[in-house]
Amino acid sequence: MAKSKLRPCKDVDKEYDMLWLWCPGCDEYHAVKVNTPSGWGWNGSQEAPTITPSILVRGTKPISDEEAERILGGEHIEPVPTVCHSFVTDGKIQFLTDSTHALSGQTVDLPEVDM
């Protein structure tokens, strides 16, 4: 089986394709839309993908069990925002410094994904 750093997925109900990539900074998949005017550009390679422009994922940090108990106890806990901002070039993922995870500012190989 060919090595791939992307999991392409044709969305049968929609006009575009999705690309799933495993983000080593967030430890989760990020998905981008391609083949649509509002989507990302992709060089068509699964072994050494380049995706433009940058991928920006905003979220909030999952609350811990301890925090969940405090919320149940009536305490207000402000969600902690997270940012993951990256460029995927030639099979590598470069995290910009506005990313909030441990790989911020680093460039690493994009991990291979199971097809």
Residues that bind Zn ion (CB under 5 A): 23, 25-26, 84
The nearest distance, CB 42 to Zn ion, in angstroms, is 18
Residue closer to Zn ion (CB basis): 29 or 69:
29
Residue closer to Zn ion (CB basis): 46 or 86:
86
The nearest distance, CB 59 to Zn ion, in angstroms, is 9
Residue closer to Zn ion (CB basis): 51 or 84:
84
Residue closer to Zn ion (CB basis): 71 or 102:
102
What are the CA-CA distances from residue 61 to residues 36, 49, 58, 65 (Å)?
A: 31, 28, 10, 13
The nearest distance, CB 62 to Zn ion, in angstroms, is 14
The nearest distance, CB 66 to Zn ion, in angstroms, is 25
Give the tokens for residue 84. Answer: 């993951």
